[in-house]
C-alpha cells in the first residue's frame, strides 16, 4: 500500500497569516498520463470531509482561492493564505493512484 | 443539490452482520463511481472500497475484502455496504462518497458501534 505521511501533526496559526501542510507519499503519484493523483480534504469539527484540492493543484468547486496545492511526484504541499476561523479542522492528503486508496493521518489546524 | 444520506447504522453485537444504505439524489447516480470510507472514533480516514457505474468493477481494501461487500441499485439510486463478522475494530462512522476527481461529495455519515 502507498503510505501517505503528513507533517506537522498540528499547526497553530494567527488569523490572517498563512499556513503550509506537507504530505509525502511512499511512491510516486505521477501517472504516465501526466496526472498526479494526490488530493486534499478538510474535515471541520463534527462534519464530513470536504474536497479542497484534486490532482495535486486543482481547486475544487466552491473552495476559496486562499487554498492552493503544489508538489512533485512524492512531496506535496497545501498552502492556506490568510487563514480564517472557518479553516479550523483536520486536513488530510490522500492518493487515488492505486488501490487501496490511502490517506495521511491528518494535520490539525488551530487558531492562535 | 447533490445529497448522500446514509442509514442503517446502530449498535450490533460482535460477530453479527449489518447492511448500510446510502441514498443519492441531485445527480445522475448511474454516471459515477461511488465509494465507502470509515473513521474510527478519534482516528483518521480509512478507505473501504469502490464500485463502478454498472457494478462490473468493485475494489476493496485487502483487510476488509472477506468481510464487506459493496453493491448498488441504480434504479433506486442507492449504494450499499454489507458488513459481516463484525468486531470492535469495525466501530466507526461510515461515509459514502461520490468519486469525481476525488471524493467530491460525502454523506453525513452513519455510526456503527460493535459491542456486546
Query: What pLDDT, in 10s, does the model give residues B75-116?
Result: 999 999 999 999 999 999 999 999 998 999 999 999 999 999
Q: What is the DSSP string of B43-67?
A: --EEEEEEE-TTSS-EEE-GGGTTT
d(CA A11, CA B26): 37
β-pair partners for A30? A36
**Å from B40 to nearest chain A CA?**
12
Average pLDDT rounded to a whole number, residues B71-77: 98
**Å from B28 to nearest chain A CA?**
18
Q: Using a CB-CB distance cutoff of 8 angstroms, which residues of chain B are in contact with residue A100?
A: 47, 49, 59-62
Question: Which residue, among A44, A48, A94, would best test binding to B if mutated, counting the most B CBs under 10 Å from its CB?
Answer: A48
Residue B30: other Cβ atoms inside 10 A: 13
Cβ–Cβ below 8 Å for B45 and A103 = yes
Confidence grade of residue A10 (pLDDT, cut at 50, 70, 90): very high
Query: What pLDDT, in 10s, does the model give residues B28-37?
Result: 999 999 999 9
d(CA B24, CA B3): 6
3-class DSSP state of B90:
helix
d(CA B43, CA B92): 9
Query: What pLDDT, in 10s, does the model give residues A49-97?
Result: 999 999 999 999 999 999 999 999 999 999 999 999 999 999 999 999 9
Cβ–Cβ below 8 Å for A48 and B59 = no
Residue A21 has a pLDDT of 98
Q: Using a CB-CB distance cutoff of 8 angstroms, which residues of chain B are in contact with residue A99?
A: 50, 59, 61
Cβ–Cβ below 8 Å for B62 and A54 = no
Residue B8 has a pLDDT of 98
**Å from B80 to nearest chain A CA?**
19
Copy the grid coordinates of residue B41: 472514533
Amino acid at each position: 500500500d502507498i503510505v501517505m505521511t503528513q507533517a506537522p501533526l498540528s499547526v497553530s496559526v494567527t488569523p490572517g497569516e498563512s499556513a503550509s501542510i506537507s504530505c509525502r507519499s511512499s511512491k510516486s503519484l505521477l501517472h504516465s498520463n501526466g496526472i498526479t493523483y494526490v488530493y486534499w480534504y478538510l474535515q471541520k469539527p463534527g462534519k464530513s470531509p470536504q474536497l479542497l484540492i484534486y490532482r495535486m493543484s486543482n481547486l475544487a468547486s466552491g473552495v476559496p482561492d486562499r487554498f492552493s496545492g503544489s508538489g512533485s511526484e512524492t512531496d506535496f504541499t497545501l498552502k492556506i493564505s490568510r487563514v480564517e476561523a472557518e479553516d479550523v479542522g483536520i486536513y488530510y492528503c490522500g492518493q487515488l493512484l492505486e488501490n487501496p486508496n490511502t490517506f495521511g493521518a491528518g494535520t490539525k489546524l488551530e487558531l492562535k | 443539490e447533490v445529497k448522500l444520506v446514509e442509514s442503517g447504522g446502530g449498535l450490533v453485537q460482535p460477530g453479527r452482520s449489518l447492511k448500510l444504505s446510502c441514498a443519492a439524489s441531485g445527480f445522475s447516480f448511474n454516471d459515477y463511481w461511488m465509494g465507502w470510507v470509515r473513521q474510527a472514533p478519534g482516528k483518521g480516514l480509512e478507505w473501504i472500497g469502490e464500485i463502478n457505474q454498472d457494478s462490473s468493477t468493485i475494489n476493496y481494501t485487502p483487510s476488509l475484502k472477506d468481510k464487506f461487500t459493496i453493491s448498488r441499485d441504480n434504479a433506486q439510486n442507492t449504494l450499499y455496504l454489507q458488513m459481516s463478522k463484525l468486531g470492535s475494530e469495525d466501530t466507526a462512522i461510515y461515509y459514502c462518497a461520490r468519486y469525481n476527481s476525488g471524493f467530491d461529495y460525502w454523506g453525513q455519515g452513519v455510526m456503527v458501534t460493535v459491542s456486546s
